[in-house]
Amino acid sequence: MTLQPVHLAVYDTLADWETGHATAYLARAGYRIRTVGPSEDPVVSIGGLRVLPDLALDAVRPEDSSLLILPGADLWDSSEDLAPFARKAREFLAAGTPVAAICGATAGLAREGLLDDRDHTSAVSFYLAATGYGGGERYADADAVTDGGLITAGPTEPVAFAREILGLLGVYEGEVLDAWYRLFHDSDPAAYAVLEKATADR
């Protein structure tokens, strides 16, 4: 079975470190990672990486995707430039295609109203409250949350963010997913043996 690609949003000031665990292990599992920019013009990350998007946001359709990943970026809080990505997330969720948002992207989704009726998390509750959104009662003080096809996480939880993504797409499950998290989050050497066996059994 051919897997639909995973679409990774890229834009100026994107936080490079927030999606690497997820995209690396999705790619190892056979997913093609396609970068999506505001246009096809290059963007520059917070870390100074110059990224040439594979395609522009307007060209992305939920039916052609397994997942849309929205990393954090300074622009989420300093302008309306990234609002089209939040609107695209609405389109994905309405079509039943999942979305994963971390750090500032959670605020963008809050402004779009996408967190009003879903359990979610972010950096801290008052960060999202400042957007004026209506979902404060659904905020969870957790490393990452999945609800209604939407994954959210705060900026210090890229490994938990990846765990939710890998679990949602079935890359790892159960004790193997737990072992992956323990290895990369907790540096638990015992978890490596579980992952090695799972890889050998595939």
Catalytic residue among 103, 128, 162, 166: 103
Whether residue 177 sits in one domain with residue 164: no
Q: Is residue 103 among the annotated active site residues?
A: yes
Q: What domain count does the chain have? A: 2
Alpha carbons 72 and 69: distance in angstroms, whole number: 10
Q: What is the pLDDT of residues 169-200, one digit of tens each?
A: 999 999 999 999 999 999 999 999 999 888 77
Q: How much is the pTM?
A: 0.96
Give yes or no: residues 139 and 178 share one domain: no
Parent domain of 94: 6-171
Q: State the Rg of the chain over Cα.
A: 16
pLDDT in tens, 107-146: 999 999 999 999 999 999 999 999 999 999 999 999 999 9
- Residue 137 φ then ψ, to 5°: -70, -15
In a domain? residue 1: no
How far apart (Å, rounded) are the C-alpha atoms in residues 113 and 123?
18
**Residue 74 belongs to a domain:** yes
In a domain, residue 73? The reply is yes
